[in-house]
Structure 1
Amino acid sequence: MIIRRIRELVQRKKSGSLKEEFLEQIKKNPQDTRSRLKLGDLHAKLGEIPEAVDQYATCAEIFAQAGFHLKSIALYRQVLKLDPNSAQALRRIGQLCLQYGLYADAYPYYESLAERLRPREGGERIFALFQEISNLPIRDLRYKALMFEALFPDPSGMFTEPTARLSEIARSMAQDDKLEGDALLLARWLVSVYQDSPEGYEILAGLLKKSGNRAQLAQTLTKLREIYASRGELEKKEKFLREFEPGEEEASPAPDVLGERAPQKTRARPGEVRVKMEADVYELLRKKTDGQKPKAEGRERATGGTVQPSGQVERIQFEDLFSSFKEGIREQVSRGDFETHYNLGIAYQEMGLYEDAIQEFELACGDPALAADARFLMGKCSAELEQWPEALGYYENALSLAGEDSEKRRGIRYEMALTLRALGRDEEALNTFRQIREESDNYRDTEKQIEEILKASNS
């Protein structure tokens, strides 16, 4: 006992001497990462967690400023091992993943950050917005990560609504023709969440004008006028509103929102109808879910004098509308317009029309650049239909097309593992989850999946 105590005292004396030595080196050169890391290791060994975290975090920032993002991420992960609740570490890893282009890797850290902040003032609002943004089918992972980042202006400070930051992201997306569909999704979400804020409506108006959807544009402009009037800004905004008035070339009647053919039958160029198509799908979805019951008289006419249950009539009406919509799409979109078929598949998928989505994704596979993503989404749709063997086949095909993109391959393998579990092939699923864990410690709920499989196998 006495000998052990003496050893502890000697060790503490040595540690104190080492601390002084490292601190002296750091004082001479604050950028001395070697001394900081050794000092951090020493603090961690002695159980001095806050001091260790401080040195690791400082060192991580030095590496980040020098452009060594992966080293910085590794150090912040070390911080999380010592302090799993560190909002600073979670935020910075998310930011660094975003800067380094590891957009999908950023997601679990932003998700954990939203969870950690829930008990704080405004935390529930952050978490709710995070969940909603997570569910938006935004294709571009970079902008999706930017949207998550926009929710956390200052993890240690007061929460502020991210309206302006998210609107700026939507404006940036709207300027890229390839991202107009994503921009439309974000703009529609913004106006649903911030109904009294003009930013989302302004962006939506620009996209609707560009797509030629005059009916919805008129509704959007009416709402904008109401908002401007309530703010006393209508007079100075009149010039802005007049920019959306149709010119002479737009004076002819626009096609019906459900895809009815225009008087002149001209096939659209590839990608030309993409944004309008997505707007039409959302209008169709609105008609499907608006909850208005048809009057009995109308039902009698529609069913030859027999009043059918309202749910059945609504289903029949929707199927008729949807059939007309698809006929209109076939008139406008060629089989070779792969990107439009891909976007249409995403819209169908969001509406729960998985079989139709699979058909569109199949057509999109004609473009090698879209094939891997399309096959992956076909797997997701099949999984929603609980067609597990088909889902697994699509995932395997997607994996073979994913190339060297490690993040994309990891995401596909994760879904494959879930599908293997659904098929009762737990051993294969376990091996896949373990491989994913070796590559990325905190990837989604991999650890939870492993624990569940092991628990089930031991019971």
Structure 2
Amino acid sequence: MGKFFQIELCSPILRAAHCSHECEGGILPANRSKISANVSKLLSQGKYDKAMAEMARLVEDDPADHRTLLRMAETYAKMGRPIDAIQTYENVANQYTAEGFHMKAIAVYKQMLRVDTNLTSAHKALAEQYHALGMQKDCITHYEITASLLERGGRLREALAIFRRMVEQQPENIASRVKLADYLVQQRMKSDAVREYQAAAEYAQQSGLTDEYLMVAEKWWSVAPTNLNIGRNLGRLYLQRADPEKALGKLQQCFQQDPEDVETLPMVAEAFAALEQHNKAAAVYKELARVFQKKGMHADAKSSWRKVLEIIHDDKEAKEALGDDGEMFSGLPTVPEMPAMANSGIPEMLKEVDVFKTYGLQKKAVELMQEVVSLDPKNLSYHVRLYDLLHEVKDVHGLAGVLQKMIVLADVTQDGRKGEWQSELNTLKATLQEAQDDSVELEVALAADLPGSVNVQADQDIAPNVQVSVDEVLGQFKEGVKKSIEDDDAETHFELGIAYKEMGLFNEAKDAFHLASQSKEKEVDAHHMTAVVLMDEGDTEKAIMLFDAILQKPNLSSSQQGANWFQKGLCHQRLQQVDQAIAAFKSAADTGENIPGLQARIDLLSNALG
């Protein structure tokens, strides 16, 4: 058996009994109890090697001794041998599964996750165990974790298979099908994604789940924007929900694709009428009447002309089209035209702007503030608020446009800030001109510096008709990079990734950071920048997963921990996950790094929670 398995027997009788039993291939029950007690004693003394030797005797005698195997696995973990611990746990779990003891197997797989929380095989096995027990909610939870871990590890085909399995096991689960479709979109498998969105939408519609249908249909239409049925359904439902603005957004897209669609036009008119933009509603009904006439549908055309006269009772064109039928509307007052939104709604919009700012959603705040300005374009204070927001998002072009309007209004109202704003506008214009000049110089310089490239002359007298395409120049530049920079030059690829990111070339930036991450020195920083690029692309959830993966790496510096916790907090804040955002920001603060505005951000979010 080996030196660890040799024991001294104190009497010839015991020695003979031992030899007799073990020769027959077993250990007496009394001796098993003694060995087990000795194991406990050795473990309490921290003598793990000797304890393992004794437990090995017991398992060799009885391979189905689950209790001892579990003690061995636990001891392996204490000895810092996680692989052996996991393998031993897995053997026990397999035995329990074969015997039909799924709850016991689940308990063992959970012990495996204490050794390695990101053990993909354990999460997958747990999902299958829960499925066998009919515990679908827990099953789906662990399948989702499995898919996330596979995706994070670049095992995309396996992740896709897990998403498909989730749908196969619960075909009526709309959330699972939508997650599969979302993943298919990410993998650019558009036709497959469309099928899954369609199936989820149809099930939601058949089940009368209107909220779920709207959510799915919005995603479905984003990948199938030419499907007018989806757009019309969305418009119809939003009208039923008294949300004519959303309805109009969808219906106008349908109208652009087919301006003569007789299903779309009545809903467009209805949306305008609900927004109290009656002249526009009448104009749409007129267009609908002309379409019906063109199609020979005269009764429907008359009905549309009557709709016009219900809104504008003295409309000559409608009266002529209807003849005597139009006289019944004579003398009735015309419905007054109202703005798309009464100014009384502006205070509520301004409150929403403040909410967006509180949660770090500056771009949404800008969009809503632009709506406010369009509703009351003569209100200087609203322009000033938009100006402040544009400063926050560093939208130089937007600032220039708003400043021009502010100067005009200041001239009318005799506002003393006009001179200050005029000076800033002049500076902005000069900056924009310089940036434009620099951009042209960069294109020429890049082309000139490439190996073997044609020299582009800037002198207009020499080449007056030469125009350099930015895409073409950048394409040549990237080819030059491939030839002149080795793949293992991590530092250069990292700097190049930053340059691409600043230029908005996100795919190129991620490729460069991927090459840089192959170096141990640059691995963490390159993955961090990849996650930041994902944030720029709007893929916030994937960015969170990458930040989580980075933060699990050992030996991170305090600055690396602080930066990744902070960016993770920003992701949660974007998703309006306030609790998670606060927790991440507090973890960033715990690193001791000096991150500007961090405490103020924590305080602001904490106050928002109340």
TM over 0.5: no
TM-score (norm 2): 0.32
TM-score (norm 1): 0.40
Decide which structure has the larger Cα Rg and report it: 2
Point out which structure has higher relative CO (alpha carbons under 8 A, 6+ apart).
1
